[in-house]
Amino acid sequence: MTTFFSVTVSCARCGTMSEQGQFGSVSSSGYADLDGRRPGRIRATMSAWLQECPDCLYVAQDLSIATAEEAGIVKEIGFIEAGLCEGMPDLAIRFMRRAYIDARTGQTRHAIWRLLHAAWVLDDFDLDASSVRRQAADLVLSLGDRADAEVRLLRLDLLRRSRAFTETIAEANQLLKEQLYSIFDK
């Protein structure tokens, strides 16, 4: 059984108090998708994965915590709302906002996952998530040598789901070659 409750949190950026949803225990069954997406009840908790200030647009796992850099980036967020998020459900926008904060503060891996979460929400609304997945795939590329096998496999899945099939096949072949070389080198 999944239990939800609400907590009152003060925004670390602007001091506004707000009620934020949280979940306690979550029961789960079934397996995750290729891109890590969990089934059933865990999916239903997504609305409580991030807290969102109703006043200043700051988004974080815990609204009461913000570095000066994170708080500063929020000023730029209006531009995402203006264009990139048009027609998106509020929950997807929340994940996009946090992805933006993470990407601009050098937390690239977090940004990749937040974009993926936004894509899951769009999937649930039967909306096209290709451009969001493409952004996440591009962020994996920006990691360069810091991209491990896990995120490179995730990039393949992001490309596949954004219908970039030629790139998917080329990169899958490259990854396979590298894996084989690393086995033969041992």
Stretch that binds Zn ion, among 3-11, 34-42, 130-138, 157-165 (CB under 5 A): 3-11
Q: What is the total count of residues that contact Zn ion (CB under 5 A)?
A: 8
Please say which residue, 3 or 64, places its beta carbon nearer to Zn ion: 64
The rounded distance, in Å, linking the Cα atoms of 59 and 52 is 4
Nearest to 52 by CA among 26, 81, 82: 81
| 13 is a contact residue toward Zn ion (CB under 5 A) | yes
- Say whether 95 sits in a helix, a strand or coil: helix
Nearest to 74 by CA among 49, 55, 91, 90: 55
| 9 is a contact residue toward Zn ion (CB under 5 A) | no
Shortest distance, position 68 Cβ to Zn ion, whole Å: 14
End-to-end distance of the chain based on CA atoms, in angstroms? 47
Residue 19 near residue 56, CB atoms below 8 Å:
no
| 11 is a contact residue toward Zn ion (CB under 5 A) | yes
Site string for Zn ion, 42-81 (x = CB under 5 A): -----------x-xx-x-----------------------
Write out the residues near Zn ion by the rule CB under 5 A. 11, 13-14, 16, 53, 55-56, 58
